[in-house]
Structure 1
Amino acid sequence: MTYLLDTNVCIKLLNNSSLAVTHELAKHQPDEIYLSTVVQLELYYGAYKSSRKEQNLAKLERFFNQFKILPFDKNSAKIAGRIRSQLNQLGIPVGGYDLQIAAIAMANELILITHNIREFSRIDGLKYEDWEI
């Protein structure tokens, strides 16, 4: 199986704040775990607004080097557009970044690893797991 890490999972890993996530990640080979450019954006934003900007940026670069990075490409955009349309018709909005992350997971047939089950459970067809349980 292959997995895409959500931003909240990356933060747990970066801060060493979840033994459950660290333990579960250790069960998998490096080529089974992916990040997305959208998650990178969110993590860079956090680093740039932090009081320890330079240290956090360096930490992110080391972290990113451990994973393959998937872009938000044309196929992901098409999937995101479909999902957004479906959810809007149901009156169930999902945040823009979360929508893009979900679309990348679906486009690449990956299981999304997140603790944000409430948000992602709204997306029909998305496979997800919570490694913090």
Structure 2
Amino acid sequence: MAIRYLLDTNICIYIAKHNPASVRARFEQLSADVLAMSVITLGELQHGAEKSQARSKALAALKQLQSVIQVQPVTEAAAQHYGQIRSALERKGRPIGNNDLWIAAHARAEGWVLVTNNEREFNRVEGLAVENWV
């Protein structure tokens, strides 16, 4: 089966922490082959783990998460979408964070649904399918 959902950083954190239960329940309903995280998300998670006061525990949790959620590289198509999205949002005076731009571009370029608890920012991106499992 093909990837259908790209999980944003906050959703990956919820899955790792088993909280809220609604996110973990939805995650467990789906097969691993339809779920992915962007390498951008992995970078954000790595950063969080590195600066954690419980660094070893956080890095172990990240390794566990990577064993159940595949990491996808950013493609040339995603770079094209990044440029389109960033330009469109700047024209409207409604920019979003740079990493969020890349994650949105990645999902939109691949035709995947972005799963996030940050609907406020991602709903600004035209043509991006967004779901919130919280």
TM-score by shorter chain over 0.5: yes
For residue 30 of structure 1, what is the aligned residue in structure 2? 32
For residue 85 of structure 1, what is the aligned residue in structure 2? 87
TM-score calculated relative to the size of structure 2: 0.94
Whether 1:45 aligns to 2:47 is yes
What is the aligned counterpart of 1:72 among 58, 71, 74? 74
The number of residues matched between the two structures is 132
For residue 2 of structure 1, what is the aligned residue in structure 2? 4
TM-score calculated relative to the size of structure 1: 0.95
Q: Percent identity of the aligned residues?
A: 36
8 Å contact 2:41–2:103 — kept in the other structure? yes
What stretches of structure 2 of length at least 5 have no aligned partner?
Answer: none
**4+ runs of 1 displaced by more than 6 Å?**
none
8 Å contact 1:70–1:104 — kept in the other structure? no
What do you get for the CA RMSD once the two structures are aligned? 1.0
Q: Secondary structure at the match of 2:114?
A: strand
Task: State the 1:83 CA deviation.
Answer: 0.4
Task: State the 1:73 CA deviation.
Answer: 2.1
8 Å contact 2:6–2:113 — kept in the other structure? yes
For residue 21 of structure 1, what is the aligned residue in structure 2? 23
Q: Which has the higher helix share?
A: 2
